Structures are given as C-alpha cells and as structure tokens.
Structure 1
Amino acid sequence: MTANELQFDPTRTALVNVHWQRDIVTAEGAFAPFFAEAVQRHGVIDSTRSLVQAAREAGVPVIWARAAFRPGYPELIMNTGLSHAIKDLNALVEGSRGAQIIEELTPLDTEPVVSHPGTSAFPDTPLDAILRRLGVETVLFTGVATNITVEGTARDAVNLGYHAVIVSDACAAATDAGHDATLETFSLLGQTATVEEIRAALQGVAAQPVGSAS
C-alpha cells in the first residue's frame, strides 16, 4: 500500500495501542524471552511513539489497552497455553510494575486506558462504548503481539462494524513469520499501513477511503 491509498477523517478515527506493558515489551519483563528482542530489533516503540504524537497533534483520540489481573488470577480462564504462561510467570498482576505501560508511551491523563483479561480488548471492557461515544468509524491498532491480542482486537473491531487498520511497523510478535502472517491475512478484513502512511493520511495527503481492498 502507498500513502495515497489511505484516507480517513481524523474526527472519526481513533488509535488503540495494545499491551505496551513492561512485562510484555521490555527486556526485564516476564515475557522478555518471547517479545523483547523483536520489539527492540524492529524499533516498534519509537515508531509507536511517533504515531501517538502525530495522532495527538491531529486530534485523533488515543486509547490504551492493557492486560491486568488480580492476585491469584481469578478472572483468567485457564484454557490456553498463554493463560498458563501468564500465571506461571506471575505476570501482569494489577498494581505491579510489570503491568504498567512503559514510560516511553505514557498515556495522557485524558486518554482512556481499558483493562481486559482475554486476547481482545473489546469483551468485558468499555472500549466499544468509548469508540461509539466518540463517533469513531476507523480504528488504528499498534501493539504486541501482532498475531495475538492486536489481531484479536482488530478482528473484533471488524465484527463490530469498524474499519480496522493494523499499523505494520508499530507492532511486533514473537516471530517475524507470525507477524507477517497476520498482516497478510488481515488485508482480507481491513487494512495494514505503516506509520509514515498513517502520518501522511493524517496530513490530508491520501486520496482513497479506508475500507477499500489493498
């Protein structure tokens, strides 16, 4: 996709940033063996920071999604390997340093932060209500992991009637193959775009509506 294929109205667009938490994306985090190397190698924190700043300057609402659990994990459904890993690693406990969003991407006081227990930020959270109250039609997604909660949230957004765009260089996964597979298949449901393509669209350079096939 090139920049002139992407266009959206900033007043009807939101940026949702998924799981930019210490336990997930830093070298000190509980999930460091899975994600930290790819996050660093691809520079996705800096890319996301650039996009967040551009969204704020354009008046695009910025929303944050985080995984957080009470001690003992009473809300965690133990039906997946990921769920067992979270509990075994004692990760993402509410109030812990590991559950915090990293300093580089600190939310503003005015930016909503939703917490969720599953692999999508929509179920059992106010995310959909927030987006609808803001009149949002297009949702841009960044985060980790591309092929787990970023994809899960983006797919739910599509099912709820939003135009969904995964920002390809503001996401990372445990493997590049997993990241690339999500980007390839998601083009059938929504769109993928780079940070620079999104920035150009925010500046009014684009010429084609979001929602068209790429």
Structure 2
Amino acid sequence: MPDLDPATTALLTVECQNGVVGEESALPELAKEARDSGMLGRVAALVDAARGAGVQVLHAVAERRPDGLGANTNARLFRAAEKLPVRQLSGSRAVEIAAPIVVAGQDLVVRRLHGLSPMAGTDLDPLLRNLGIRTLVVTGVSSNIAVPNTVFDAVNLGYRVVVPADAIAGVPASCTAEVIRNSLALVASITTAGELLAQWVPLRRASA
C-alpha cells in the first residue's frame, strides 16, 4: 500500500453506533461479530492514530425520526428495521458512537435519515471536498450493505478508497472475505489496520 498523505486523507467510520454494534444492538449477530472479531477495537485504534497523525476523522451515523418522516420504505431491509426492538432514533443513545471508539472535538459526524450509504444525499462529499480530501479510508459495518455502498459511491465521486480488511465486519463472517475478494478489491486498495497504524503512529510521535 502506498503512503497516505495525512493532509489529503480522511478516515470514515460507518455505522459504528450503539444501536448497530453496541451491547444493546438491534442487530445482535452483527454486533457480536464486530466485537468478537476485534473489529471495533481496531477501528478505535485507527481513529486514535489517524487523529494523532493529522488525518481527519469522520463518523457516519444512520438514524431516523420517531415518526419515520423521510425514511425509505422501498426495500425489505427498511421495513424490517421498523419492527426491531431497538430503533436508531435521532438523539437517542442508539445513535451515539459505540465504545471503545472515541469521538473528539475535531471529528465530524455525518447523520442520515435515508438510504443505504452515508455518501448519497448527505453532507459527506462536500465536507470532504472542502477539506481537500482525495483518499478515503473506510471502516465499520456492514460488509453486507453499507460499507460496499460507501466504497462504490466514493469511487464514483472520484475518491481513492482504502479498506482495511480487518476493520470492517458483516454477517456471516465469511461474507466479509467474499465481498473484499470479489468486489471491493476491484475498486479499492485493500490493507490491514496494522499497516495503517504502522504509517500513522510514527507521525503522531513525530508531532508530539
């Protein structure tokens, strides 16, 4: 993987929120995979190291209004979400970023009320362009839907995308490897959390 310029690189966490990957998740199987695989811990380490290296950190959150106004109903996934015991309601604990990931004051949080991707119809693209970002590191969940959507949308918009394979998760666990091998590797640079940390941690020490 080539070197990433902190000035033009951003790290994005996708749906790493309590109601998705936290202990009170609406999707307990996905939450268990995210925790047991170590994915959440690796994302937390990447967020900390990126911030220390001068890489902009952004968090993409999926939420909905209590009345559902503006939410999609055109797919089975959306209709099923309405019936789950935990709902991703705006302002609730469910839409807060899950531990051990820490949100700092300089991070940007991008929220959406609709769709499958944090890049479509949100502020994410203009924010990245205003920041001068050319490379987007995508982490989080799920490798089934939101992560591939994010990667494809970013590539279509002209960004170079990097995916640390062990910092995304989906269900079943085998899905992640298949999606990476057969889809994401065709459009993004595939790396690991360790390789990114090897670049960013020394930069943090140098600027300390």
TM-score between both structures, scaled by the size of structure 1: 0.88
Question: 2:145 matched to which residue of 1?
Answer: 148
Which of 184, 190, 193 is the matching residue for 1:192?
Answer: 190
Which letter does structure 2 place at the counterpart of 1:131?
L
Gaps of 5+ in 2: 204-208
Tell me if the contact between 1:119 and 1:152 (Cα under 8 Å) persists in the aligned partners: yes
**SS of residue in 1 equivalent to 2:186:** coil
**Could you tell me how far apart the structure 1 residues matched to 2:24 and 2:82 are?**
17
Q: How far off its partner does 1:131 sit?
A: 0.6
Q: Per the alignment, do residues 204 and 99 of structure 1 end up closer, same or farther by CA in structure 2, a change over 3 Å counting?
A: closer
Question: 1:23 matched to which residue of 2?
Answer: 19
Over the aligned positions, Cα root-mean-square deviation in angstroms equals 1.6
Question: 1:211 matched to which residue of 2?
Answer: none
Q: How far off its partner does 1:204 sit?
A: 7.9
Correspondences of 1:40-55 after superposition (within 5 Å):
40-55=35-50
Question: 2:206 matched to which residue of 1?
Answer: none
Tell me if the contact between 1:6 and 1:198 (Cα under 8 Å) persists in the aligned partners: no
- Does the alignment pair 1:175 with 2:172? yes
57-66 or 23-32, larger mean C-alpha shift: 23-32
Q: How far off its partner does 1:203 sit?
A: 5.9
**SS of residue in 2 equivalent to 1:187:** helix
Question: 1:129 matched to which residue of 2?
Answer: 126
- Does the alignment pair 1:80 with 2:94? no
Bigger RCO (CA 8 Å, 6+ sep)? 1
Residues paired across the two proteins, number: 200
- Structure 1 residue ranges (4+ consecutive) displaced by more than 4 angstroms after TM superposition: none
* Fraction of identical pairs, as percent: 34
- Does the alignment pair 1:56 with 2:54? no
Q: Per the alignment, do residues 204 and 157 of structure 1 end up closer, same or farther by CA in structure 2, a change over 3 Å counting?
A: farther
Which letter does structure 2 place at the counterpart of 1:189?
V
**Could you tell me how far apart the structure 2 residues matched to 1:58 and 1:141 are?**
17
Question: 1:10 matched to which residue of 2?
Answer: 6
TM-score between both structures, scaled by the size of structure 2: 0.90
**Could you tell me how far apart the structure 2 residues matched to 1:27 and 1:108 are?**
22
Tell me if the contact between 2:49 and 2:201 (Cα under 8 Å) persists in the aligned partners: no
